[in-house]
Structure 1
Amino acid sequence: MQAGLHPCSQGITFAPVTPDVITSTVDKAAVAQVLRDIALLLQLDGESGYRVRAYEMGADRIAGLPQELGPLVAEGRLESLPGIGPALAEKISELVTTGRLGYLEELKAKFPPGLLELMKLPDIGPKKVATLWRELQVGSVDDLERACREGRVRQLRGFGEKSEAKMLEGIAVYRRARGERKLLGDVLPVAEALLEHVKASPGVVRASLGGSVRRRAETVADVDIIASAKDAAPVLDALANAPGVAAVLGKGGSKCSVRMTAGDLQVDLRVLPDEDYATALHHFTGSKAHHIRLRNLGHERGLKISEWGVQRDDGTKVPVTDEAALYALLDMQYVPPELREDNGEVEAARERRLPEDLVTLEDVQGAVHAHSTWSDGKNSLEEMALAARALGLKYLTVTEHSQAAIYAGGLKVEDLQRQWEEIDRINAAVPGVRLLKGIEVDILETGALDYPDSVLEQLEVVIGSIHVRHGMDEDQMTRRLLNALDNPCLQILGHPTGRLLPSREPYPVRMEEILERAAERGVAVEVNGKPARLDIKSEYVRQAVQRGVRLVVSCDAHRQEDLRNLAFAVATARRGWARKRDILNTLPADSFVAALRARR
């Protein structure tokens, strides 16, 4: 086992130990860490201080053993150790001999997967983790970073501004050590603000984001900005002195690299003569695999393509005014940045069959999937309506959680009826935007929906989602979703794989079967734009489009600001080659509702 890794909080298990090898060295520190993890989870679960202390003391005892742990387990002598009773001895033996501990798995299932990861941050111990979870529902490193930046941690007893600053420093150190990629949704606002700062610099002719940010990849490592100007120095200085820059990592004649305070993010700016701008932008947008394909095509035509331009074999430079001109030189359609992943786009562009009407944010007329203070949202219905109108949206689907989602303030049937009355009042009072009456109904373990059909039939929008029991196996989960899709009241399948970036893997499911059934039943599939979800991912979007599955792009909004998540849903849809006609909420409100009800 790697040093410093917690075996259970990282999804790592011990290799099963058989009786004939149990006398070999067993990692006492790792076993002790598992016991400490249990103590923390018991504390969070409201268990008595006595039980918590028993596991903490047991962890100390195991970690401090002068002899090897294996022989004690093999010979059944664990109970001879002070503070190790029968129950604790049984659990230690199970862990050492099987490589797993069922009791820990049961405890872990009650809390977010990223909670134990907080223990790896510098100066964060069990008591602090427990307080952060109880008081602020901080369940991951990302949650903690947001809480610190929003100034919520300093309001807790025993914490303060210095504690917040120290925690942010610790998070940055932790991420540097892991080389962790960052969510597009966290990086893009910073990148776009810096781009505008660069564009306003003296002498800038053109400027754009590049790299994985421009391709709208789910996660990104850093930010690339490409600019053109006659004199690079003032532009490079502008980035070096931009707001939020923590340190200048390097600055030369054409490139400046900085580290931002926000998220410990590295930003690289390159400034070139305008005649080289298009080829440099293409080169630094990537992907590497796509660029290699184009270089090879260029070679076949006697062209050398690089960030410094396009040259013929005789050394003459070919003018390239923009990226479209570069593709034209290769007898190809223009390939949008989101598609440049060498996933068939080169062949399609050469054969003139690349879709030229990919969905855009401007095509979207209404926002799907929004919560308010009626369930677990932060803003009232009227505030959400006004925010949607301010963004130019024509409608907003109100889809609170259903009654089984007690943890999220799920609505009982009588609550729904009262909410419909409020929606009617707001629709009459707020012109220019329409609230649609909907629900995000839980898909229960059997695949049944969490309201009777008689209730669901009265709604304009019915999204069905899985929120609990993610641990079912592939057969069980596939049957669960197929059963839900067979319900004639289900209109939209919400975040179909249940993943949370980077803390929760998708649950096992045969997505091809799910998409086939959705196509057969006429159920739309959600492209969820919440940056930590982006579910379904672009590969599944493309499979859905190929099968004729209807899609919606959604924001999964729990506050006004989340309505902007639509942009990430659109980006994911574009990466999956989805066109305007594939997305139902590009329709006006009445047509959208009619399309949802038109089950095949």
Structure 2
Amino acid sequence: MLDKLGVARALRELSALLQVQGENPFKVRAYETAARSLEDSPDDLAALVRDGRLRELPGVGAAIEKKISELHATGHTPLLDRLHAELPPGILELVEVPELGPRKIGQLHAELGVDGIAALEAACVAGRVRELRGFGEKTERKILEGIRRLRERPARRMLLPEALSLGERLLAHLRRAPGCLRAELAGSLRRGRETVGDLDLVAAAEAPGPVLDQLLAWPGVEAVLGRGEAGLSVRLAEGAQVDLRVSPPGGFPALLHHLTGSKAHHVRLRGLARDRGLTLSERGLERLDGGGALPAGSEEELYAALGLAFVPPELREDRGEIEAARDGALPDLVREEDVRGLVHCHTRFSDGRATLEELARAADALGMEYLTVTDHSPAASYAGGVGLDRLQAQWDEIARVQALVKVRLLRGTESDILEDGALDYPDRILEQLDVVVASVHSRFRQGEDEMTRRLVRAMRLPFFKIWGHALGRLLLEREPFACRMEEVLDAAAESGKAAVEVNGDPKRLEMTPEHLRLARARGLPVVLSVDAHSVAALGHLRWAVATARRGWVTRDAVLNARPLAEFARAVRPAG
């Protein structure tokens, strides 16, 4: 069985393989459209299938509806199985190579018999690729460089939502095992890290065998990497490694704790334990004098035995949390239910895929007090930025929708920070807005000095602004641009006219926890944003909160945890 994200990946794989085979472009695009519609839908896939509502999604007709249903139920569909049989298994790995799209891959396969990265590299080295129409020597060199970078890239990691989705499905599967009393996620996923490599699962059972066998019965298991009496490691078909440890019920809290915190966190705890005449391991706390184990029925009790307050999983990185736990100074971290308004939302006036009315009604359903309409500004022409000629029409639409919903709609912009640090709406427009998110969307390759000057000037502008997705990174795709972060944060704090955004888009999740702590040390307020381009993306709030918690952010620091009047007053551009 595949969930929504798994089915979307399979549809995109269908699209790529069909394009390699030279299929009709309209058919190829149909699978991509259906994948995007599925990802954007706020509804549960099982409910859509059960209620026969798949065809309500844009781009889903009868044929694709059948394939989605098959993929959801079995993880397979005949067309995808046929394509896998007809094309070499290495074809899809070629999609990862820069400079290559499915059409060029099809040409390489048809004309040179390229069936994987090794064959492609050999063809490039032999100078045969440059001879093909549409390639040339320059493209051949770029392909070789792309192969080199691909090989140097770390092993596949998953974005946080993908990892959590897979982890929760695995937990549900394990909990059905005979004798399984409890099963939980551990490792970096439990700590809320932006990307996750291996999945760590911990279970409690009197007899570990049936729980281990239950994991082996998961349909996606491709290989067994190792098995012991109470542990099992497997690799799944999508490339993820899953490590399962099973403990007797009494040892579960200690094992869960052991497999959650970072190595550095545990090294510090073991030192504290030794100072108290104890040893700390996956079995829990034991007396060094041979006096036996200290009972710990929960993680809270384990920390208490070391003289510490309970440390939330997100903070277990050895970045001051142990000292704070000792001194009673741990922060009361922000929670998702603390947030009262959705910030940073795009509609069809720019590059959003939902109307303002659809977003507003969804915000009503979530019980939100306010929603900021922050479509792109004119400089973002690639994203349909709202020019001065369309601004009044957008404001009229906000007024029309406001009459239909309870949630308060605040008119704003995501304004580009231009190359010289200016914002691209004139002051007379900025003064009329309720909120301004200011972000860099271009010239990412400016040098560190230039980018720092650019951002410092933007932070010093007289209008209050929220610094959006600070360093422009796209996780697993694009590195952050270079700037001197502390210098920019100093300028933002000195101006008194800025807040920093925690962007909840799973590909962004900026600011980083380290930068958030620098911002908070300077007294800068925080906004937890969704950067929503669809109704489903309003759910990005969950990931913004997870990142903020890792950055020690408290409720009182979050502007959109405040009531409407306070939030509106705090972010009003004219100050």
Whether TM-score is above 0.5 comes out as yes
Are residues 182 and 409 of structure 1, via their aligned partners in 2, closer, same or farther at CA, if it must alter by over 3 Å?
same
| Structure 1 counterpart of 2:166 | 190
Q: Deviation at 1:315?
A: 4.2
| Structure 1 counterpart of 2:561 | 586
| Structure 1 counterpart of 2:298 | 322
Whether 1:435 aligns to 2:409 is: yes
1:286 maps to a residue whose letter is: G
CA distance in 1, matches of 2:179, 2:58: 39
1:378-402 per-position Cα deviation (integer Å, ceiling 9, x unaligned) = 1111222233333343322111111
1:263-308 per-position Cα deviation (integer Å, ceiling 9, x unaligned) = 4212222221111011100111120111111112111111111112
TM-score (norm: length of structure 2): 0.73
| Structure 1 counterpart of 2:51 | none
CA distance in 2, matches of 1:499, 1:540: 14
| Structure 2 counterpart of 1:527 | 502
CA distance in 1, matches of 2:522, 2:83: 49
CA distance in 2, matches of 1:440, 1:379: 17
CA distance in 1, matches of 2:544, 2:488: 20
| Alignment of structure 1 residues 150-549 onto 2, 5 Å | 161=80, 178-242=154-218, 244-261=220-237, 263-313=238-288, 314-355=290-331, 357-431=332-406, 433-522=407-496, 523-549=498-524
Q: SS at the partner of 2:181?
A: strand
1:278 maps to a residue whose letter is: P
| Structure 2 counterpart of 1:562 | 537
Structure 1, unmatched stretches of 5+, are 1-121
Are residues 598 and 468 of structure 1, via their aligned partners in 2, closer, same or farther at CA, if it must alter by over 3 Å?
closer
Are residues 389 and 195 of structure 1, via their aligned partners in 2, closer, same or farther at CA, if it must alter by over 3 Å?
farther
Q: SS at the partner of 2:528?
A: strand
CA distance in 2, matches of 1:435, 1:488: 24
CA distance in 2, matches of 1:287, 1:168: 35
Contact 2:555–2:561 under 8 Å retained in 1: yes
CA distance in 1, matches of 2:326, 2:82: 57
CA distance in 2, matches of 1:200, 1:393: 36
Contact 2:421–2:454 under 8 Å retained in 1: yes
Are residues 239 and 162 of structure 1, via their aligned partners in 2, closer, same or farther at CA, if it must alter by over 3 Å?
closer
Are residues 371 and 202 of structure 1, via their aligned partners in 2, closer, same or farther at CA, if it must alter by over 3 Å?
farther
2:294 maps to a residue whose letter is: V
Q: Deviation at 1:125?
A: 11
CA distance in 1, matches of 2:417, 2:252: 51
CA distance in 2, matches of 1:208, 1:527: 27
1:281 maps to a residue whose letter is: L
CA distance in 2, matches of 1:550, 1:317: 45
1:179 maps to a residue whose letter is: A
Are residues 434 and 299 of structure 1, via their aligned partners in 2, closer, same or farther at CA, if it must alter by over 3 Å?
same
Question: What is the aligned residue count?
Answer: 465
Contact 1:521–1:599 under 8 Å retained in 2: no
Q: SS at the partner of 1:270?
A: strand
Q: Deviation at 1:470?
A: 0.9
Are residues 240 and 126 of structure 1, via their aligned partners in 2, closer, same or farther at CA, if it must alter by over 3 Å?
closer
Structure 2, unmatched stretches of 5+, are 1-15, 41-56, 65-78, 97-115, 118-149
CA distance in 2, matches of 1:463, 1:285: 36
Moved more, 573-582 or 385-394: 385-394
CA distance in 1, matches of 2:555, 2:422: 32
CA distance in 2, matches of 1:487, 1:258: 54
| Structure 2 counterpart of 1:33 | none
Q: Deviation at 1:360?
A: 1.0
Contact 1:484–1:490 under 8 Å retained in 2: no
Q: CA RMSD in A?
A: 3.5
TM-score (norm: length of structure 1): 0.70
Contact 2:464–2:572 under 8 Å retained in 1: no
Contact 1:298–1:304 under 8 Å retained in 2: yes
CA distance in 2, matches of 1:389, 1:266: 40
2:274 maps to a residue whose letter is: H
- Identity over aligned pairs, percent: 50
Q: Deviation at 1:405?
A: 0.7
Flag the structure with larger Rg.
1
1:396-448 per-position Cα deviation (integer Å, ceiling 9, x unaligned) = 211111111111111112322212222222222123x2332111011111111
Contact 1:210–1:224 under 8 Å retained in 2: yes
Q: Deviation at 1:311?
A: 1.2
CA distance in 1, matches of 2:227, 2:369: 47
1:518 maps to a residue whose letter is: A
CA distance in 1, matches of 2:201, 2:393: 50
CA distance in 1, matches of 2:515, 2:83: 39
Q: Deviation at 1:330?
A: 0.6
Whether 1:572 aligns to 2:547 is: yes
1:564 maps to a residue whose letter is: G
CA distance in 2, matches of 1:203, 1:483: 62
CA distance in 2, matches of 1:204, 1:171: 41
